Chains A and B, each alone.
Chain A
Amino acid sequence: MSEIIKVGIADINLVSPPDTIRTTGLGSCVGVIIYDEGRKIAGMAHVMLPESALIKSNTTKLGKFADTAVNALYDMLIKKGASAKSIKAKIAGGAQMFQFSSGSEMMRIGPRNVESVKLQLNQLGIPLISSDVGGNSGRTIEFNPADYQLTIKTVNKGTKII
C-alpha cells in the first residue's frame, strides 16, 4: 500500500516509492523538492521565509527558511545514500495572495522566497528541472518519487504536472 507523506508548514520530510509526498495550501511559501534521479529517493520542504540570517529565532524547524531548508534537505538525501551528482530539484509556490498598492517588503515575500531558494540550489550546484512559481493562487503539490512528477493543484487554475 502506498501512503501520502505529509509535509506541514516549515517542515521537511523524505519519501521513496511507492509512497508520494505532499504539502497543502502553499501561498507565499515555496515547496522545494530535491530528488536523486536513479535512486528514487526524494525530500520536500515547505519554506516560509527567505533567510535565517539576522533573525533571532530559537526554532528547531529547519524547513522554515530557504537557506536552512535547502541545506538540510540536501544533507538528509546524501545521508540516505543519494549521489550529489544526480540530485535535482523542482519548486512550486511563491504566490502573492493579496495585491496591495503599497509594495512593502513583506508583501513581496513570495518572490523573495523563490529567489532565495534558487540561490541556495545554485550554490549547492543542484539543477532546477522545473518550477511553477508566482501568480496569485494557492497551490497544493504532490511529488511522486517513482516518476519524478510534481502535480500542482490550484483552486482557480486547475491542475498541472511539471
Chain B
Amino acid sequence: MDFTKINHIHLDILREIGNIGAGHAATALSTMLNKAVDMKVPSVKVISFEEITEMVGGSENIVASVFLRIVGDAPGCMFFMLPIEQAEKLLGDLLGGEVVQLTEGVHSEMTISALQEVGNILSGSYLTSFSDFTGLNLQPSVPATSIDMAGAILSFGLLEISAVSDFAIVIDTAFTDIKKLDEVKGHFFLLPDPESFAKIFNALGVPMDE
C-alpha cells in the first residue's frame, strides 16, 4: 500500500464519505432516540496502529462495539464504538428508560440484541449513503458485538491492512449530544481494505496515479 499516492483531494473524498455516511447514521440515531444528535467533522488520518487505539481513549479502555465487514466492490471493516457508560445510556433511552448494565454477567440478551440492532441500523444507513455516493456495490455482513478493551477490538479491523502496511487510513466520525458538544457519545470507524482505496477513488473519477 503506497500512501504517497494519496493526495489531499483523496483525503477530502474520504472525509466526504465519512460526512455523508455518518450524517445519515446520525439522523437514524436521532429518529430512534427522538432527540437531536450531532456529529463532528470527520477526521481522516493516515496513522500508526498505536494512534488508532488512542482515538478511543487508549487500548485498555472498555467499549461497547458493533463490528461488521463490508463486502462487495470495496471491502473493509466498520465499527460503531461507544464508551460503556454511553452505550448503557443509549440503550436505556431506547428501551424506554430502563436501567441498563452491559458488564458481563449482568447484561441481558435483550440489551445485547438491542445494541446489535442499533449498530445494524446505523451502519446500514452509513453504508447505503457510502454506496450511493460512490456507485459501488457494498453490503454489510451480519453485525457482531463485543464489549471489551478497545485495543483488542480495533486490532481486528487492522488485520487486512497490517499485512501490507504499518499504517492505516481511518475515517473517524464522532457523535455528540447537540447540547453538550464536548461530550463524545460514540465513534464510527471506517477502515477500507488496502485494495479498496483505488476502487473508491476510481469510482469518483480521481484515480490515484494522477
Contact = CB atoms under 8 A, between A and B. Distances in A.
Contacts of A140: 59-60, 149
Nearest to A95: B152
A141 B53 CA distance: 17
B67 interface: yes
Nearest to B60: A24
A102 B156 CA distance: 16
B151 A155 contact: no
Contacts of B141: 100, 102
B115 to A, nearest CB: 13
A13 to B, nearest CB: 13
A24 B59 contact: yes
Contact of B142 (A49, A55, A101, A138): A101
Nearest to A27: B152
Interface string A24-67: 11111100000000000000000011000001110111001000
11 contacts: A10-B49, A25-B59, A27-B155, A48-B155, A55-B163, A97-B146, A100-B141, A102-B141, A109-B156, A138-B153, A140-B60
Interface of A: 8-10, 24-29, 48-49, 55-57, 59-61, 64, 95, 97-102, 106, 109, 136-140, 155-157
Instruction: Sort A-B residue pairs by CB-CB distance and give the 9 closest, nearest first.
Output: A25-B151, A138-B152, A27-B152, A25-B59, A156-B104, A98-B144, A138-B149, A24-B59, A9-B49
Given A9-B151, A25-B59, A27-B152, 15 more contacts: A9-B49, A24-B58, A25-B154, A27-B151, A27-B153, A56-B164, A59-B166, A97-B67, A97-B148, A98-B145, A136-B146, A137-B152, A140-B59, A155-B104, A155-B149
